[in-house]
Chains A and B, each alone.
Chain A
Amino acid sequence: MKKNSLSLIISATILLAINIYVFKREPMTMGIIGIILLLSSCIIVMVRHGVSRYLFFIDEAYTVLALSVIQGTIFNSLVLAILITASIIIYLSLNGSFDMRVLALSSIMLVTSIILTYILYSLLRGFIIMYIEIINANIIYFTLVLASSISIFILFLINLLIKELAHKGSS
C-alpha cells in the first residue's frame, strides 16, 4: 500500500471517529455534515488523488469548527485536541512532509516542552490573575498559551546554545 493512501486512511479514520463523537452531541447536524463531508471526500480522492491534500485540510478545519461549537469538559477537549493533532501529524509524516526519524527524536523536546509548560503554568497562574481580570479573558487558557510560548522560547535558547557550542567545538 502506498504511504499516501495509508496516511489518508489513518487520518480520515481519526477524523471520522471525532465526527461520530460530534454526531452524538448537540447540535447533531454538525456531526452529520462532518460525516457526509468525510465520506464524499473519500469518494473524490478515489477518483482524483491529486486533491487529497486540500480535502484533508478542509475536513480537518471543519472538524475543529464543529468541535468548537459543541460543549464538552476540559478533559474531553484535551483528548480531542490530541486526536486532531495526531491525525495531522500522522498525515504529514506518512506523506513525507515530516521526517519520521526526526519526528521520533523530537518527542524528547516535545516532552520537555510539555513539562516546562506545566511548570511555567503553575508559576504564572497566580501572578497573572490580576492583569487578566482587567481584559476579561480566561485565566487558564491565557496562562497555558503564555506558558507554552515561554517554554518553546526557552527550548529555542537552549537550542541556540547547543549549536553555538557545537560550532565552537568543531572549529
Chain B
Amino acid sequence: MSSAIKYNRSLIVYVLIASLMYLGIYMKNALLTFVGISLFLVFTSYLLTWDLLTSLSLSLLDINDELVVMKDHVILRIRAKSSLPLKIPAKITLICSPHLQCSNIDRDLIINGKQKDLDLEIKWFGIAKILGIVIKIVDPMGIVTNATFIKLGHDVVIEPKENAQLIIGKGLSRDLGNAVVFQSRSGDFVTLKEYDFSEPVSSIHWITSARVGNLVSTVRSEMGNLPKLIIMEYTPHMLKPANKYRPIDEALMYLRGLRSIGALLILIGNDITKVMNLSRIASLADLELRLRVLVIGMEGREELLERAKRLIGNYVNKLSNDDLMTWLYPVNVSKGLSNDEIKVLTRYLRKDSLLILSKESLSNLIRSNVDLNGAQVIVVGEGI
C-alpha cells in the first residue's frame, strides 16, 4: 500500500484536486470549487517551475572533473556548475566498467555546490572505463524527475600490483605468499661456508678446504630455472571472474613479476597466436583490454545495445561503438583453448617454458595427452 502511494503521488494529488473541483461544480458549492482551483494552480505552477528550472539547470550544466589514480583507489573529483545560479541537490550514478567499484559511492551532489570526491576502489587490473555520470534531480515530494547523462570517457590504466610476489617452482604452483621471483638458476654458485657434517660430502670445496686448512662447502642455489618462454592462455575463460580476481588478473601479476627477465611471451587463444617480448610490452593492462575487446566483439551489437540500454536507458544513443566495446564487460562468451590451439601450444612447449592457463584449459591439455613434463605450469583463476 505504502509503495503504491509512493510511486503514484502525482496521480493521487491530482485525483484529489479534481474531485474537489468537480464536487464543487456538482454541489454548486463555491468553496470546494475555489479550494480545488487554487490548489490546482499552486501545485501545478510549483511543479512546472521546478521542472523548468531543473531542466534549464541540467542543459546548462558544465562538469569539471579530474581523475587521480592511487594504489588501490581511483579518486574522481567532480564539480557540477550550471549557468543558472541555483544550488540544486542531485543524485549521481557513475557508469563505469566493473574494474572499479562504482555502485557503492555516495550519490549526493549539489549543482553549483562544492567539489565532490568519489572514491572508487580498484577491483581488477586492465584498462577501466569511466564512461560518464547520470545526474538525476527529483523534487522533494518525488513527483517530478529530471535527469541527464554526461559523458566523461576516462580510460583508467590499472597496471598489476608491483608488490605481487610469486613462486615459480617446478610443477604446479598456485601460492603467491612469502616468496619472491628467484634471480638465480638451479645449481648456481652462491657462496662458500664452513662445512656442516649434516651436508653431503659432495658439497665440500676441496681446493679451498686445502688452502684454508678447514672443511669448506659451497652453497648453491636450490631454486628452479627462470623461464625464457612464457605461454599464456588468451581466451574468454581468462576473463571469467573467480573470487576476488579473474584469471587474467593473476596472469598479469605473474607477468609483472617476470617482466625483468626478458622472456618471450606467446599468447594463444581466440584463434590467434601472438609472440612478443615481455620486457618490451609498454602496458600489461593493455593486454587485458585487447582480450576484452576481442571477446566482446564475439557478442552481437544488438545484444550489446540491449544490455547498455538496460543499464543507462536511452542515453545509449550518445555512445559510440568504441565506447560500448570498452565499457561493457563480456559475459556471454565462455570458451577455453580449442583443440587446434592446443596443437599450437604443444608446438611451442619446451622444457624451460612457463605455462599460464586456466583450470579448464589445463584439464583439456591433460585430456589431449600433452606432455607437460619439465614445463612449469601456473593455474590461474582459483582465487588468490
- Residues of A at the B interface (CB closer than 8 Å) are 64, 67-68, 72, 74, 77-78, 80-82, 84-85, 88-89, 92, 96-99, 101-103, 105-110, 113-114, 117, 137-138, 141-142, 144-145, 148-149, 151-152, 155-156, 159, 162-163, 166-167, 169-171
Contacts and interface: CB of A to CB of B under 8 A. Distances in A.
Interface in B214-262: none
Contact of A99 (B36, B41, B140): B140
B49 A68 contact: no
Contacts, number: 130
Contacts of B44: 113, 152, 155-156
Given A96-B140, A148-B37, A72 B31 contact: yes
Interface string B29-46: 111111111111110111
Contacts of A110: 41-42, 45-46
Query: Which 4 residue pairs are nearest across A and B when measured between Cβ atoms?
Result: A81-B34, A106-B49, A77-B30, A110-B45
A141 B21 CA distance: 8
A139 B48 CA distance: 28
Contacts of B38: 81-82, 84-85
B365 interface: no
12 contacts: A67-B31, A82-B34, A84-B35, A106-B45, A108-B49, A141-B25, A141-B30, A152-B48, A163-B52, A163-B59, A166-B56, A171-B59
Contacts of A101: 86
Which bucket holds chain B's interface residue count?
35 or more
Interface in B9-58: 20-42, 44-46, 48-53, 55-56
Given A96-B140, A98-B140, A109-B49, A114 B30 contact: no
A170 B35 contact: no
Interface of A is mostly: helix
B141 interface: yes
B139 interface: yes
Nearest to B26: A137
B194 to A, nearest CB: 82
A113 B276 CA distance: 73
Interface in B114-147: 139-141
B281 interface: no
Nearest to B25: A141
Given A72-B31, A78-B34, A152-B40, A163 B56 contact: yes
A155 B46 contact: no
Interface in B354-379: none
Contacts of B48: 106, 109, 152, 155-156, 159
Given A68-B29, A109-B48, A145-B36, 10 more contacts: A64-B31, A68-B27, A74-B30, A84-B35, A108-B49, A110-B42, A141-B28, A145-B22, A149-B40, A152-B44
A148 to B, nearest CB: 5
A114 B37 CA distance: 10
Nearest to A153: B44
Given A77-B30, A152-B41, A141 B24 contact: yes
B344 interface: no
Nearest to A135: B25
B60 interface: yes
B19 to A, nearest CB: 11
B46 A145 contact: no
A155 B56 CA distance: 16
Contact of B31 (A77, A113, A155): A77
A144 B33 contact: yes
B45 A113 contact: yes
A112 to B, nearest CB: 8
Contact of B25 (A82, A145, A148, A151): A145
Contacts of A102: 46, 49-50, 53, 139
Q: Which interface residue of A72, A81, A117, A163 has the most chain B CB atoms within 10 A?
A: A81
A101 B49 CA distance: 10
Contacts of B35: 64, 80-81, 84-85
B34 A77 contact: yes
Given A101-B86, A110-B45, A113-B41, A159 B51 contact: yes
Contacts of B28: 138, 141
Given A64-B20, A152-B44, A99 B50 contact: yes
